[in-house]
Amino acid sequence: MSNRLPLIAGNWKMNNNHLEAIALVQKLAFALDDKDYDNAEVVVLPPFTDLRSVQTLVDGDKLRIGYGAQDVSAHEKGAYTGEVSGSMLAKLDCSYVLVGHSERRELHAEDDSVVNTKAKAAFANGVVPIVCVGEGLDVRKAGNQVEHVIAQIDGSLKDITAEQAEKLVIAYEPVWAIGTGEVATPEDAQEVCSAIRTRLAELYSPEVAGAVRLLYGGSVKGDNAGSIMGKDDVDGALVGGASLKADDFVKIIRFGDSK
């Protein structure tokens, strides 16, 4: 039993305009009670255009729901059309930002070095990065998932200090399980999360490794969340599709109880 508070983060991806975002956060807040928030930290990660509306709602109604963004620029300001900086996210009181989601790695050719720069940009602005790692099907079939993920960890965390690292969140998302309905077994999730924690202890210290929350992501639903989050080194979930309906997301949040 660890003292890490489970984190359940909903990555909405490119879904929900700002009006739909308000409706979904309101439904979520209506369904959750203090016991839920005591058992798990609840976070939503809407598109950039929704963040101001979510901030206003969370502040105005004093909701215990956290929020953050799905990406951050590696740059602080300047001629980077379409990008959003860490300081802009900080100004909206974002607590978290995803970096290195597999869809960014695949569709926008982000490698570990870009992910590393983005993680540093987040920390520089007081926003906690949720660093995503995970192997594709070919790597999994070859049985090289642990080596692959540890190499991603080493590259993505280069020169991140111990003080920063202890605040980190890392999401292990096997790419073959994202949006496919294919779920890694709880043992698969534990194998890789345990290897990540061991590596963090080597890179930093056992104390830092013990503080970092490791999430599993990939087709998490109400009926599989409990068994995956029940594993010792899995401290929560990064949820895609099932975070778009309040009822489904609440079911997953309630499995925070199992920790």
Ligand X SMILES: O=C[C@H](O)COP(=O)(O)O
3-state secondary structure 171-208: EECCHHHCCCCCCCCHHHHHHHHHHHHHHHHHHCCHHH
Span of 114-122, 149-157, 162-170, 173-181 interacting with ligand X by CB under 6 A: 173-181
Span of 79-87, 88-96, 207-215, 216-224 interacting with ligand X by CB under 6 A: 216-224
CA distance 259 to 257: 5
CB of 208 to ligand X, least distance (A): 24
Catalytic residue (one of 41, 101, 110, 135): 101
Instruction: Give the angle 23-221-48 at the CA atoms, nearest 5°.
Output: 40
Give the per-residue contact string, 128-167, with ligand X (x = CB under 6 A; - = no).
----------------------------------------
Is the Cβ of residue 174 or residue 204 nearer to ligand X in the bound state?
Answer: 174
Q: Are strands 65-69 and 41-45 parallel, antiparallel or unpaired?
A: parallel
Annotated ligand binding at 219? The verdict is yes
Decide if 173 is catalytic: yes
CB of 155 to ligand X, least distance (A): 20
Give the Cβ contact number of residue 65 at 10 Å.
18
Annotated ligand binding at 82? The verdict is no
Task: Check residue 235 for interaction with ligand X (CB under 6 A).
Answer: no
Is the Cβ of residue 9 or residue 200 nearer to ligand X in the bound state?
Answer: 9
Task: Check residue 179 for interaction with ligand X (CB under 6 A).
Answer: yes
Give the Cβ contact number of residue 117 at 10 Å.
18
Annotated ligand binding at 259? The verdict is no
Span of 89-97, 139-147, 195-203, 236-244 interacting with ligand X by CB under 6 A: 236-244
Restricting to residues 6-25, name those near ligand X by CB under 6 A.
Answer: 11
In the list 6, 66, 241, 256, the residue contacting ligand X (rule: CB under 6 A) is: 241
Task: Check residue 85 for interaction with ligand X (CB under 6 A).
Answer: no
121 closest CA partner among 73, 171, 168:
73
In the list 149, 238, 250, 253, the residue contacting ligand X (rule: CB under 6 A) is: 238
Decide if 108 is catalytic: no
SS3 90: helix
Residue 7's DSSP bridge partners are: 41, 236
One-letter amino acid identity for 256?
G
Q: Which residues of 189-211 are buried (b: 16+ CB within 10 A; e: fewer)?
A: bbbbbbbbbebbeebbeeebbeb
Helices (H), 85-243: 86-91, 102-107, 112-124, 137-141, 145-156, 162-165, 186-203, 206-211, 225-229
CB of 1 to ligand X, least distance (A): 26
Task: Check residue 69 for interaction with ligand X (CB under 6 A).
Answer: no
Interface ranges with ligand X (CB under 6 A)? 11, 101, 173, 178-179, 217-220, 238-242
Binding-site residue set for substrate: 11-13, 179, 219, 240-241
| Residue numbers annotated as active site | 101, 173
